[in-house]
A and B are shown apart, each in its own frame.
Chain A
Amino acid sequence: MPNALALERQEKVRSLCRDRGWDALLIYGNAWRCDYLRYVSNFPILEGHGFALIHARGGVRLYLESPMEADRASVEAPDCEIVCRPDMLGVLAAELGRTVGRLAAAPLRLMPHGIAETLGDRLADAADAFDHLLMRKSELEIDAVRRAARIADAGYEVFREAARVGRAEYELTAEVETFFRSQGCPDNFMIIGSGGSEVRGMHPPGERRLQAGDLVTTELTPCIEGYYAQICRTLVIGPPTPQQSAAFGVYLQSMEAGLAAVRPGATAAEVARCENEVFRARGLGEYTTNRYTRVRGHGLGLYVDSRPALLEDVDTPLEEGMTIIVHPNTYHPEAGYIVLGDSAIVRAGGPEVLTATPRTLFSVPG
């Protein structure tokens, strides 16, 4: 990663601390919830707990549970002071206990019990304030998302070529992961679904082998310099049935309606409502509820599933420079589970769509 981006983010965090009157901010991260830690330290943690302590007018100290990760951080996060001790939680808790001044933490809800018990009410919850830093992207950050979107498009081409009768879901995933790795992309969020109208969602790849007539769905989410971009597409093994083609038309219209609503000042709820109205107009409103779907899109950035969630009860306003995916993924009673989604940047003149794969129900040889 260009050092400029890491320095830019650290300075924003220091500025946040000063604005809020926090003397220091304690950040928690692990390989699942990696975004807060990467924002501050630029370290892509893979194993164990990680904490970054950043002072309002000081450097970043990175506490890592795994000695192997500490070795790696000495190369990958050279600007941080690395701390690794056998009783890391105890060492950190004791050190924080001696720290004078106002402390805040993000995300506080995931902070280990061993830390929170020691500090009690001293830790202010910085998650909301920090989430705003994560949501509003600088042009340097947007550039990384844009590059991730390009590799997502290329990854879907690989997926499409690999989806053939007899191929197991995990073998299909292997081909995509191998491609991403060959392009220097070490991380990806990917789930998959295959089958007919009995399929109600996506999951990690299993042993099921693709069959003629299957709908095959996937979300690909490669990561470049920590920033994720996502694409959602559906293909059919063999020619699509009239029911599948007709059903896909609803998703296409829904996604385009959602994207058309993306502009600074619009809320997440408005985008979701525009997507859902298309389903409701066809008598399919039930399939926009949480019985069949989770969200109608979400933020993208250093975390795959960032704020804001695109849901009709989320009133977060969109701002210029936010990166999101609009995806009306859900179950269709006649066709099964269908996904369609594109990543976009919120721009004053309308969304800048980052993914360029055609918005079609693909058909591959059966």
Chain B
Amino acid sequence: MRRGLMAWSREEVGAEVFERRVAALAAGARTRGLDCVLAYTDLTRPAAVSALTHFVPYWSNGVLVVTPAAGATLVATLSRRVNDWIQSTSRLDNLVNTLDLGKGVATALPASARTGLRVGVVDLPSLPCSVSAAIRELHPDTVFEDATDLLGAALAGEPGRADVIAQRCMAIALTAIAAGTAAAASREANQVLAAAEDAARREGAEEILLAMAPDAQADPRLRRIEGGAALGEVFMLQATVAYKGCWLRLGRTLTTGAARPWIAGTDTWCQKLLSKIAGGARAGAAIDAALAGLPGASLAAWRLETARAGLPLATVDGSEPFSAKDLLPPALHTLTLHLRHAQGCWFGAAPVLLGRSGGAGA
């Protein structure tokens, strides 16, 4: 569950930002001849509804129904007793509590003058089938269409003050990694992870997911530590941090003892690479070109992630082909790199702002 700070600061992002986004989505739906657009949310796929309303469910699930007439109606399987909390963290026009999400959504759909409804769905393939089945039961001739591109278009024209949120998220991630690094002398994975968790949550993180390769020389694969592990001379730590709906990853290759020049050198190399990508270079080509300046190193894997539809971090490019489309602004991406050196494996992950002239890497 989400168990960090979940609050809406109107100073960071005002209600008018969400109102404009919802209006733009409703206008897009009208232009396409859709009766409404649905966006599903749970704590694993919160990005679309969060971008439209600021709402993130700490538990359970819901569907946002956007129509030109009624604006944003959230149908949620959360108890009525948390409605005050929902309203305090969200910009909604209507709120409906239901025990049966499918029936609740089907009932909330607008009446159509035509025989069947045309319903757009953000990331239609991922919508729980009980929702689409209940809609078809109540509205038998409903036609579903994927509306992920409509969401992208609605958000592209309304970045809001998302940079402020992203910068705060990055600051939290840096604090967490620094705290974890400072605890490395304990040589215990749990102490490093606890220090990172503590720092992030005290700084107001909505969530922090931690992964680690405790002895990177033995096995460089990142994993969630359950129970505990001893740290090797070289370990890897990744913090995936959420703050007010913004997600990013920050990862480092670290040591329990003396600093390793090859790690520090690769960190510096990576910073230059991020600057080039932020300046407009395509990630894959930039990585290939930059590797020429890192003798003895070879690429094991890379990936570029950003928010897409409901997913806060979806892979959009990388070692395997992924389709880069329907990106949510502000085009904050996370670049993850795994390299092989003669001295060992190196890993790094960092956010980079793409798609803006003059944008800066993290």
Binding site for B on A (CB under 8 A): 1, 30-32, 44, 46-49, 65-68, 71-72, 74-76, 86, 89-90, 108-117, 170-171, 173-175, 177-179, 181-186, 188-191, 200-201, 203-207, 225, 290-294, 304
**A294–B81 CB distance below 8 A:** yes
**B223–A76 CB distance below 8 A:** yes
**B81–A201 CB distance below 8 A:** yes
B197 and chain A: residue at smallest CB distance: A181
Minimum C-beta distance from A107 to chain B (A): 9
In angstroms, Cα B130 to Cα A67, docked, is 27
- Determine chain B's interface SS by DSSP, over half rule: mixed
Minimum C-beta distance from A204 to chain B (A): 4
Interface residue? B318 (CB, 8 A): yes
**B44–A183 CB distance below 8 A:** no
In angstroms, Cα B2 to Cα A205, docked, is 9
Q: Using an 8 Å CB-CB cutoff, how does the interface string of B67-83 with A read, 1 for contact, 0 for none?
A: 00000000000011110
Given known A-B contacts A48-B44, A111-B128, A112-B127, A174 and B225 have beta carbons under 8 A apart: no
**B303–A205 CB distance below 8 A:** no
Binding site for A on B (CB under 8 A): 1-7, 42-45, 58-61, 79-82, 84-85, 88, 102, 121, 124-133, 144, 190-191, 193-195, 197-198, 201-202, 204, 209-211, 219, 221-228, 303, 305, 311, 313-315, 318, 320-323, 336
**A112–B129 CB distance below 8 A:** yes
- B221 contact set on A, CB distance < 8 A: 71-72, 74-75
**B201–A186 CB distance below 8 A:** no
Given known A-B contacts A32-B59, A178-B194, A294-B81, A207 and B7 have beta carbons under 8 A apart: yes
Given known A-B contacts A32-B61, A86-B323, A173 and B129 have beta carbons under 8 A apart: no
**B129–A116 CB distance below 8 A:** yes
**B320–A294 CB distance below 8 A:** no
Most chain B CB inside 10 Å of its own CB: which residue of A1, A48, A65, A113: A113
- A201 contact set on B, CB distance < 8 A: 79, 81-82
**A174–B202 CB distance below 8 A:** yes
Minimum C-beta distance from A143 to chain B (A): 14
Can you show 26 pairs from A to B with CB atoms below 8 A apart? Answer: A30-B44, A31-B44, A32-B59, A44-B226, A47-B311, A72-B222, A72-B223, A74-B221, A75-B223, A89-B125, A110-B128, A111-B129, A112-B126, A113-B131, A115-B129, A116-B129, A171-B201, A178-B197, A181-B190, A182-B191, A186-B225, A191-B3, A201-B82, A205-B3, A206-B5, A293-B81
Pick the residue among B79, B88, B190 that contacts A184 (CB under 8 A).
B190
Most chain A CB inside 10 Å of its own CB: which residue of B44, B194, B320: B44
**B201–A177 CB distance below 8 A:** yes
- B198 contact set on A, CB distance < 8 A: 174-175, 177-178, 181
Given known A-B contacts A31-B43, A86-B321, A89-B125, A71 and B202 have beta carbons under 8 A apart: no
- A109 contact set on B, CB distance < 8 A: 102, 128-130
- A49 contact set on B, CB distance < 8 A: 126
Most chain B CB inside 10 Å of its own CB: which residue of A49, A111, A115, A204: A204
**B128–A171 CB distance below 8 A:** no
- B225 contact set on A, CB distance < 8 A: 184, 186
In angstroms, Cα B127 to Cα A89, docked, is 12
B86 and chain A: residue at smallest CB distance: A203
Given known A-B contacts A67-B318, A76-B224, A113 and B5 have beta carbons under 8 A apart: no
**B224–A186 CB distance below 8 A:** yes
In angstroms, Cα B1 to Cα A65, docked, is 19
- B128 contact set on A, CB distance < 8 A: 109-113
Most chain B CB inside 10 Å of its own CB: which residue of A89, A174, A225: A174
**A184–B228 CB distance below 8 A:** yes
- B3 contact set on A, CB distance < 8 A: 173, 177, 188-191, 204-205
Given known A-B contacts A72-B221, A113-B127, A188-B3, A170 and B201 have beta carbons under 8 A apart: yes
B85 and chain A: residue at smallest CB distance: A203
A46 and chain B: residue at smallest CB distance: B209
- A68 contact set on B, CB distance < 8 A: 222, 303, 305, 315, 336
- A206 contact set on B, CB distance < 8 A: 5-7, 85, 88
In angstroms, Cα B336 to Cα A226, docked, is 28
**A207–B5 CB distance below 8 A:** yes
- B311 contact set on A, CB distance < 8 A: 47-48, 65
Given known A-B contacts A173-B201, A178-B201, A205 and B4 have beta carbons under 8 A apart: yes
- B126 contact set on A, CB distance < 8 A: 49, 89, 112-114
**B202–A181 CB distance below 8 A:** no
- B305 contact set on A, CB distance < 8 A: 68
Given known A-B contacts A48-B311, A86-B323, A182-B191, A30 and B4 have beta carbons under 8 A apart: no
Given known A-B contacts A46-B209, A181-B193, A204-B85, A174 and B201 have beta carbons under 8 A apart: yes
B5 and chain A: residue at smallest CB distance: A170
In angstroms, Cα B79 to Cα A116, docked, is 28
In angstroms, Cα B260 to Cα A128, docked, is 55
3 closest cross-chain pairs (CB), A and B:
A114-B125, A116-B129, A174-B201
Minimum C-beta distance from B106 to chain A (A): 14
- B219 contact set on A, CB distance < 8 A: 75
In angstroms, Cα B81 to Cα A200, docked, is 7
- A184 contact set on B, CB distance < 8 A: 190, 225-228
**A170–B125 CB distance below 8 A:** no
In the complex, given contacts A178-B201, A184-B228, A204-B5, what are 18 additional A-B residue pairs having Cβ atoms less than 8 angstroms apart?
Answer: A30-B45, A65-B311, A68-B315, A71-B222, A72-B222, A75-B223, A112-B129, A113-B129, A178-B195, A178-B197, A178-B198, A179-B194, A182-B194, A186-B226, A189-B1, A201-B79, A201-B81, A294-B81
In angstroms, Cα B44 to Cα A361, docked, is 36
In angstroms, Cα B244 to Cα A170, docked, is 14
- B322 contact set on A, CB distance < 8 A: 86
A44 and chain B: residue at smallest CB distance: B224
Pick the residue among A32, A110, A291 that contacts B43 (CB under 8 A).
A32
